[in-house]
Structure 1
Amino acid sequence: MKKREEKEPNAERWMLTYLDLITLLMIFFVVLYASSNADTTKYKQLAKSLNVAISGGGASIIGSDTATSVTNSTVTVVDPPETTTNAANSKTAEENNMESIKKNVDTYLKQNGLASSVSTKIDERGLEVSLKTSLLFDVGTAGVKEDSAKKLISIGKILNHVNNYVRIEGHTDSTPMSNNEFKSNWQLSAIRATNVTELLISKAGISPKKISAVAYGENRPVATNTTEIGKAKNRTVDIIILSNQFSKTEKIK
């Protein structure tokens, strides 16, 4: 009697499991690498390589009738958010806007002979327009002088071309009050800042929702109070067009 031929075991089955494991490990490490690398170009190259590796153009992993075919698949490349770039572009746009407004204010000051009484600068808080109190008020008073009010309104209209919040800051020197109208320099600076604020709202069209008045009295000097020149520099009303960063603290809750 003829001996029955025994079928040889399929030696390729273990390769299927092995290659599946290798493929999964490759995907795992590629994803880890891509997640830790913010380089968009390398990220796309890795994704493309991964797509080719796991798709194989539709061919079988082993090449026999026992193997499972891998169909063509697509790896979708999601670009990482360009938050840094967007923030930089936003900052540049804001800086350009502030520079443009400052230039317009400086032009107005020069044309109207106010350059010696009003100064402008841009810092981390935004655009600052600093007016000497001698331009706006008589000594020891808080009412804005009529001729100066018109100039203040014109400046306010230029500044009203942005949606940023506006802060009016009142400052004095350290000389004690010598009249009965105000109890302290703090009170004097508060009333002056408030009067300027109300004038900008009623005449320059600045929304009351985006403007506020702040008083510092003699507590924020920019120069020494031991000389008359220094004291004159400390007596100001400052109009601050707040930067986007500082405007966030002023938003209505």
Structure 2
Amino acid sequence: MIKRDEEHEGSSERWLLTYSDLITLLMIFFVIMYASSKVDATKYKSISNSFRITFGGDASIVDGGEGTSVGVNNEDSKLQETKKNLDKYLKESKLTGSVTTKIEERGLVVSINDTVFFQSGEAEIREDALKKIIQIGNILKQQENYIRIEGNTDNKPIHNSKFQSNWQLSSVRAANVVQLLVEKCGFPPEKLSSVGYGEHRPIASNDNEEGRIKNRRVDIVIMNSKFNKVED
């Protein structure tokens, strides 16, 4: 009788061993899953890019959290493609010394040197430059992003019958480029804005003519969509 009771008691506790084994396995499973989720994002992105290039895709593979894509950023790819097409046109038109392109955090920046497109101290776009800006606009129209036109000058004071300051000159030049893009390229007006910075945002030294030439420019900025809330 005592032996039967002991056997019954032992059998009733076997499930505890099975239960503890199951809990242990579950814990190991979740530890492995957690460790896998912490894979190096940089390495993962590199692998993702390799797969995209191999299979010719351009869409994001997975969201890497914190509002960024671990896979290929489709918008960045489009900006790079637009830059490539624009650089090709600039080279064919022998404008590479007058128009430069670069991709920054805020988007694709197209810098137009004022000496080619404007007369000194004037805001009207030169007649022989209209077609060039229109062609540039048609290439940039591939993008649906907001576009900001920024006028800039060197630090030499201006004072003539039309403009009392570099601020005025840079602002009107930027506005004239906006008007051209809307009227001749069909850009939606609500996607465009213009601003004049005068001499206050130089990209080179104003102590020599070479630097002043670089500072006299109109920048067409294809804004990264992460700044949409700023533009809305």
Global fold match (TM > 0.5): yes
- In structure 2, what is the equivalent of residue 45 of structure 1? none
- Deviation of 1:234 after TM superposition, in Å, equals 0.5
In the other structure, the counterpart of 2:44 is none
Between 194-203 and 123-132, report the one with greater CA deviation. Answer: 123-132
What are the Cα deviations for residues 196-227 of structure 1, in whole angstroms up to 9, with x where unaligned? 11211121122222222122111111111122
Of the three residues 188, 191, 194, the one matched with 2:175 is: 194
Q: Is the 8 A contact 1:165 1:250 kept in 2?
A: no
Residues 1:206 and 2:202 are matched in the alignment: no
Change (3 A) 1:237 1:24: same
Where in structure 2 are the equivalents of 1:151-170 lying within 5 Å? 151-170=132-151
Distance between the aligned counterparts of 1:107 and 1:35, measured in 2?
Answer: 47
Q: 1:227 to 1:185 in 2, by over 3 A?
A: same
- Aligned pairs (5 A) from 1:45-84: 82-84=62-64
Which residue does 1:38 correspond to in 2? 36
Query: How far did residue 192 of structure 1 move?
Result: 1.0
Which aligned segments of 4 or more residues in structure 1 are displaced greater than 6 angstroms? none
Equivalent residue number for residue 26 of structure 1: 24
State yes or no: 1:224 paired with 2:205.
yes
Of the two, which has the highest radius of gyration?
1
Could you say if the C-alpha distance between residues 6 and 109 of structure 1 is closer, same or farther in structure 2, counting changes exceeding 3 Å?
closer
Deviates more, 1:229-238 or 1:115-124: 115-124
Change (3 A) 1:23 1:160: same
- The answer to whether the 8 Å contact 2:108/2:223 transfers is yes
Any gaps of 5 or more consecutive residues in structure 1? 41-80
Among 111, 123, 129, the alignment partner of 2:104 is 123
> How many residues are aligned here?
206
Gaps of 5+ in 2: 39-60
Q: Which residue of 1 aligns with 2:72?
A: 90
**Compared with structure 1, are the counterparts of its residues 150 and 87 closer, same or farther at alpha carbon in structure 2 (3 Å cutoff)?**
same
Q: Which residue of 1 aligns with 2:58?
A: none
Q: What letter corresponds to residue 125 of structure 1 in structure 2?
A: R
Amino acid paired to 1:171 = N
Q: Is the 8 A contact 2:108 2:222 kept in 1?
A: yes
Deviates more, 1:21-30 or 1:113-122: 21-30
In the other structure, the counterpart of 1:144 is 125
Q: Structure 2 CA distance, aligned partners of 1:167 and 1:138?
A: 22
Aligned to 2:4: 8
Q: Which SS does the other structure have where 2:222 is aligned?
A: strand
Q: Report the TM-score, using the length of structure 1 for normalisation.
A: 0.70
